[in-house]
Amino acid sequence: MRVRLGEVAFARSGDKGDTANIGLIALFDDIYPLLKEQVTADRVRRHFKDICEGDVERFELPNLRALNFLLHRSLGGGGTVSLMLDAQGKTFSTALLRMEVDIPEEVLRRGPALGGAGRSRAVPPGDSATDPAPNPDAD
């Protein structure tokens, strides 16, 4: 089944100079190997072809079910010198979550409660009702 990454993962993004940083985190364990296989540095580079002028690096964080991408030369020189609307890359995570991947239906059905990961509003790790409220000032 073809789904957007936003159906099976969540993401955060930011900047370090002229490099955008995107963290992509699988909503549940069975999704992570599929993300590793399909969301390659090359594919992310093609997805951001109109924005990223440099290399894309990918780092795997299996203990967090996460992939981290560095998109070099993608912020018009960086926040202090760029005329880009999003010179800190805060919207890059949303753009990545629009990429589509192939996920077998049985994997989606095995996802968290509420009917699987797809279209379920599954809760990301560490965001349960018993965890402390997030600090909106932390970054």
* Structural domains of the chain ordered from first start: 2-78+85-105 (3.30.70)
Determine contact, residues 30/47, Cβ cutoff 8 Å: no
Give the pLDDT score at 139. Answer: 43
Q: What is the pLDDT of residues 112-131, one digit of tens each?
A: 643 444 444 333 444 433 33
The string of pLDDT tens digits covering residues 15-66 is 787 888 999 999 999 999 999 999 999 999 999 999 899 999 999 999 999 9
Residue type, 122: A
**CA 62 – CA 83 distance, rounded (Å):** 36
Per-residue pLDDT of 65-109, as tens digits, reads: 999 999 998 886 655 554 454 444 567 898 999 999 999 999 988
Query: Tokens 């690096």 belong to which residue?
Result: 57
pLDDT at 22: 95
